[in-house]
Amino acid sequence: MVMEKKTGIIVSFDTSGKSEIQSAIRRLSDSIDAIYLKLPVLLRESASVISEIKSFMRKNNSEKPLIIDYRLDQSELDSLPALSNLFENEGAFGMTVMAVYGKDFLRFCTKKARIGIFAIIDVGTPFFRELFDDTQVVQNAILARDNRCEGIVMTSRHLDRIRKVKETIGNDLQLLSTIEKRGKVGDAISSGADFEIVSCELLEQ
């Protein structure tokens, strides 16, 4: 399973309701390659919002892959098979997990999940930033590649870090980069990312 790249843009939704998401997809359909739903959307709407959005896209001839930004951690590992089955049944393409928990964690995720696993290899949150220096981020990318993840997700905060990761993994994995509020759309792709994850609000500015 590989996402087709046309524009390189993945639109993300943080807290939007179903009707807001559908309206945005209608407006942005020609300029995006995929949808990135963050967990608060599912908590607000339930997992059925996935199939409802997929159905809406099919009816409008604008079907795109849909990734759930779940950020599964070690404490939730036992729930992964049931979660991935649920997301697959609803029509999701993939879900995110935290790479920082290591190779056994990632291996379990990729073996047990029925959808693509996207490993988050660094984060922009200040509380976690000290855990993700350049060496650790590159190592996380290698772990994701070696344990058959579908792709990796990293912030665009350090463009040189994107370059280092891309030099290390090449085209073995699709590299997705989240554009920060002060970031510029296009910079991450210019630095080696395959796709940029851009909030709907930023994309429509």
Above 80 in pLDDT, residue 127? no
Contacts with 205 (C-beta within 8 Å, 6 or more apart), sequence order: none
Mean residue pLDDT across the chain: 92
Residues 119 and 165: beta-carbon distance below 8 Å:
no
Q: Token pair of 126, please? A: 């200040």
Q: pTM for this structure?
A: 0.94
Q: How many residues does the chain have?
A: 205
Work out the pLDDT band at 2, boundaries 50, 70, 90.
confident
What is residue 183's predicted lDDT score, i.e. its pLDDT?
A: 79
Above 70 in pLDDT, residue 128? no
Domains and CATH numbers, the chain: 9-203 (3.20.20.70)
pLDDT 10s digits, 72-102: 999 999 999 999 999 999 999 999 999 999 9
Residues 66 and 93: beta-carbon distance below 8 Å:
yes
Of the chain, the end-to-end C-alpha distance in Å amounts to 32
Above 60 in pLDDT, residue 108? yes
Above 60 in pLDDT, residue 126? no
* 158-186: average pLDDT: 92
pLDDT 10s digits, 142-160: 999 999 999 999 999 889 9
Residues 191 and 184: beta-carbon distance below 8 Å:
no
